[in-house]
Amino acid sequence: MKKRPAPLLRALSTVVLIAAIGAAFYLSIEVTDPDFVKLITSAPKAKQILPELLSPDLVTRESEERTLELAFPIPCGGAAEGVPATTGATLIADPACAAERETFRLDGTGFPPDTIVKLSWVLPSGDPFGVTRITTTEEGSFTQEMQARPIAAAADGVAASLRAEWSLPGGVIKPSQALLDVTDAIMVTIFMALLSTTIGTVFAAPLSFLAAANITRKGVIGSAIYYITRSVFNVARSFEPLVMALIFALIVGFGSPFAGVLGMTVMTAASLGKMFSESVESIDPGPIEAVTATGANRWQVVRYAAIPQIIPDFLSFIIYHWDVNVRISTVIGFVGGGGIGYYLSQRISTLEYSKAGTALLAIVIVVMVLDFLSAQIRKRAI
């Protein structure tokens, strides 16, 4: 049988590969449905958000916080209507009640001029639900179109309230409360990463030798231990830290740093275990053969031939994973894992973008510092 020319096979393989890549990109576009036109047309929505995110709340002046509320029943008759104040700052809703999803106008008068006022709903349960921020005119008034949100419907005869919050600045400059809260939260994040990395290393280090073919995969029992350990690592690594943190948050409570630590520990143990085992498998077999030839058992082979070779790699992997865990922990907070991520999610949900900007700035600084420190430590350890 006459053989096909090799160039023809290579050309056919190239065509098939290009077709496969093209099909993958086509399916990616079909699945994700990108709309770049909408991205451009929606850009004006960022005008309010970006300036505040880029203006982190770092310092403040001693100020007096003011709050004003007006009961607003949804639907009409679900509860008593609110009575506007007769002096000072006043909120007036027109009409004074509404059905779900109906729009109404909220007027504010008597406020300080050129002052940012945060508008939000206070649900019948007492929980706040941010709506928007608005700046008063030179006369100290504002007008805002609002929608009667279904979430703010009256319950058991108790109406939701429209809340306006503003502050009167003083003269003494001091660290803002946001900066103090972010400092506490970022320290929690750093120690969450440290603790999860430490616990994960304690589990990963000994198990990695069981998952190393050159150490364990000898005989039926050794091969069984090897494949079981590798399978455990693969199964644990298949779950994202976000998923694990969410599961643990349901168990130990949302906002608990312990939930984040547990989620990252599982991921760290599996990931480090795999990297450690690959490091063990890549060591020089000469010392292992020499120690084995002396009649040493497996523990002695590991102790005197394997460990001295892998310590630099182990230290490098551990430091790198601590750096990775700091970054992951900021995202884990969004699913209730505690730390700076949980603080950031709360600020965004309540439209406090300036405070969210403070958290973002802290995350950037900490990641940069840890990246520099970990690089220096790795240089000295290797």
| pLDDT tens digit at each of 382 positions of the chain | 455 556 777 778 888 888 888 888 888 888 877 777 777 777 777 777 788 888 888 887 766 788 999 999 999 988 888 888 888 899 999 999 999 999 999 999 999 898 889 999 999 888 888 888 899 999 999 999 999 988 989 988 899 999 999 987 666 777 888 888 888 888 888 888 888 889 989 998 888 888 887 777 777 887 888 888 888 888 888 877 778 888 887 887 776 778 888 888 888 888 888 888 888 878 777 777 787 787 777 777 777 777 777 777 788 888 888 888 888 877 777 776 677 888 888 888 888 888 888 888 988 888 888 778 777 766 765 5
- Regarding whether 254 and 133 lie in a shared domain, the answer is no
> Is 283 domain-assigned?
yes
Q: What is the dihedral of CA 372, 377, 378, 381, to 10 degrees?
A: 170
- Regarding whether 164 and 186 lie in a shared domain, the answer is no
Kindly report the pTM of this predicted structure: 0.58
Domain's final residue, options 152, 174, 196:
174
Domain that holds residue 319: 178-381
CATH code where residue 335 lies:
1.10.3720.10
> Is 167 domain-assigned?
yes
Taking phi first (over 0 means left), then psi (-120 to 50 degrees means alpha), and beta for anything else, what does residue 140 get? left
- Regarding whether 357 and 252 lie in a shared domain, the answer is yes
Question: What does the alpha-carbon distance between residue 366 and residue 275 come to, in Å, rounded to a whole number?
Answer: 25
As for how many domains the chain has, the answer is 2
- Regarding whether 278 and 370 lie in a shared domain, the answer is yes
Tell me if 237 sits within 8 A of 308, measured CB to CB: no
- Regarding whether 162 and 182 lie in a shared domain, the answer is no
- Regarding whether 308 and 255 lie in a shared domain, the answer is yes
- Regarding whether 153 and 202 lie in a shared domain, the answer is no
pLDDT given at position 210? 83
Residue listed under structure tokens 């096909």: 4
- Regarding whether 202 and 168 lie in a shared domain, the answer is no
Give me 276's structure tokens.
Answer: 């450690």
- Each as own residue / partner, the long-range contacts of residues 178-184 (CB below 8 Å, 24 or more positions apart, any chain) are 178/56, 178/57, 178/58, 178/347, 178/352, 178/354, 178/355, 178/358, 179/57, 179/58, 179/59, 179/358, 181/343, 181/355, 182/340, 182/343, 182/355, 182/358, 182/359, 182/362, 183/362
Domain's final residue, options 174, 198, 232:
174
